[in-house]
Chain A
Amino acid sequence: MRHRAAYLAFDRFPSSKGSAVHIAQMADELFGFFGGGLLGVLGGGDLPRYQREGDREVARFDARIPNLLDRAEAFSGWAADHLDPHLGTLEVVHVRDPWSALPAVTAPGRRHRVVYEVNGLPSIEMGHTWPWASPATLGKVRELERFCLERSDAVVVPSRVIGGAVRGLGVPEGKIHLVPNGADVPDRPARPEGAPERYLIYVGAFQPWQGLDVLMRAFARLADLDGLRLVVCGSVPERRAKPVRRLAERLGVAERVDWRFTLPHAEVAAWLAHAEVSVAPLTGCARNLDQGCAPLKVIESMAAGVPVVASDLPAVRELMADGEHGRLVPADRPAELARAVRILLEYPDEAAAMGGRARRRIEDGLTWARSRAGLSAVYRALYPASAAR
């Protein structure tokens, strides 16, 4: 089968992480638009190397290469080989990172357009996750990003802050398209088995810039609230929680924290829906401020009708308003975070009203249906002839 569309991502798919939800939505829209396509992603574990679902093919790169750069570059080569048989028919290649972008923009005899979806910039991100990465190395990553962005036909960003970061890399305004993340607004799901009576919830991974340490310190200040528990739904495997758990023990809150790991997306939605408050304590580091982020956890909490207490960062302000859908508090300030949570717990009617407004805000403006319509408009602008859909 020769495809007209391909979607490439240096990400495992499917997985329990937010990136997988995002990829599923975007790739589904792309393949719907072009009558099928090839999805090239990371595999491993039980995931099959190749899969066919109707007019879609999934190919998974599962080489076990320990060094990140070696792995990323091998993925580029693999992706190039997988585009190869389709080069005569491809119209759009949608990519998600420089290592999937490179083979798409440098394909020999390229006829296809490249849509580059930027959810984060490795040149910034990697400095926050790999302490030994030197500025010179990150500079090379930035050159790679620039090279790929320059040769892409459209750049899709999920937030204005990331749009600004992309403009800073020299991408002209007219090429940048804002397609916010979304959520599906579910009917209220049943209470999860084993859910405590009253709990705060954190959903996501455990990198330093997620601010879980701030949350733990804030939670220590709520020790007087009888029966209040904190549920942490980690999107990554349990072993990554070790440092956070150690901190929880040191702060004396460990017995009041419940841990869940890599739950299916639908189960996380249920945990969210029955929480008192959802907390997104993102730190005010350069990674969150300059590069920006588009925290899916905020959108999904709002969709679940739960009031959110989040750090007051520009990327979060694009999604929710202080006092309207929850509370925005200064980043990295446990005392302020604790106080905001305490007030919401003391005024449950007001908290419920915020949750209700949050849910309506998603229904009215931040559904996946709307995100997908935005993406489809980008494809249509590139290919007016394909609008026959």
Chain B
Amino acid sequence: MTSQVNRCTVTTGFFVLGRCGRAAVAACGQCGRPVCAEHATGALCPECALAQGYAPQDPHDPAWVRGYRRRHYERSSQTYNDAYWYSSFDEYDRGAFNPGDEYSYGGGDFDDDGMDFVDS
């Protein structure tokens, strides 16, 4: 580390987000970001530490996404042993929801209070 004080870059807040900004005392063992004493739990930053609690994922890989969906639907239809409800969307259904197909006003948001289909 240089003599210059590094600042902790952990994101803080719930509705209004900010950066921690306290003086860093270590670097995350995984992503290398500077972390302060408060946020350095173990060798990892909070983001990397939390990610370890869940299955690793590579959502940028289309094969991962397909497999994910299939696994999930197989498992949940087994749970209910009910083929009817899982009226799986076919290619025809999916074809209506490609980017650019929404009305030109760019909708897809649920008014001021709903599901955000577009800004993902």
Contacts and interface: CB of A to CB of B under 8 A. Distances in A.
A119 B50 contact: no
B67 to A, nearest CB: 9
A82 B57 CA distance: 11
A273 B76 CA distance: 49
B98 A66 contact: yes
Contact of B103 (A102, A204, A208): A208
Nearest to A244: B105
Given A102-B76, A134-B96, A18 B105 contact: no
B54 A82 contact: yes
Given A18-B112, A48-B47, A50-B51, A78 B68 contact: yes
A263 B36 CA distance: 31
Contacts of B99: 66-67
Nearest to A62: B59
Contacts of A143: 85, 87
B109 A17 contact: yes
B94 A70 contact: yes
Contacts of B116: 10-12, 15, 17, 19, 42
Nearest to B70: A77
A164 interface: no
Contacts of A49: 47, 51
Contacts, number: 242
Interface in A279-309: 293-297
A144 to B, nearest CB: 7
Q: Which of A10, A63, A144, A242 has the most CB of B within 10 A?
A: A63
B113 A140 contact: no
B14 A240 contact: no
A205 B107 contact: yes
A347 interface: no
Interface in B80-108: 80, 85, 87, 89, 92-99, 101-108
Contact of B115 (A97, A206, A210): A97
Contact of A77 (B69, B87, B89, B112): B69
A207 B117 CA distance: 13
A128 interface: yes
Interface of A: 9-12, 14-15, 17-22, 24, 28, 42, 44, 47-53, 56-59, 61-74, 76-78, 80-82, 84-85, 96-97, 102-103, 106-108, 119-120, 122, 125-126, 128-134, 136-137, 140, 143-144, 147, 158, 181, 203-210, 235-237, 239-240, 242-244, 264, 293-297
11 contacts: A10-B116, A78-B57, A78-B68, A84-B54, A84-B55, A97-B114, A106-B76, A122-B115, A137-B96, A203-B112, A204-B111
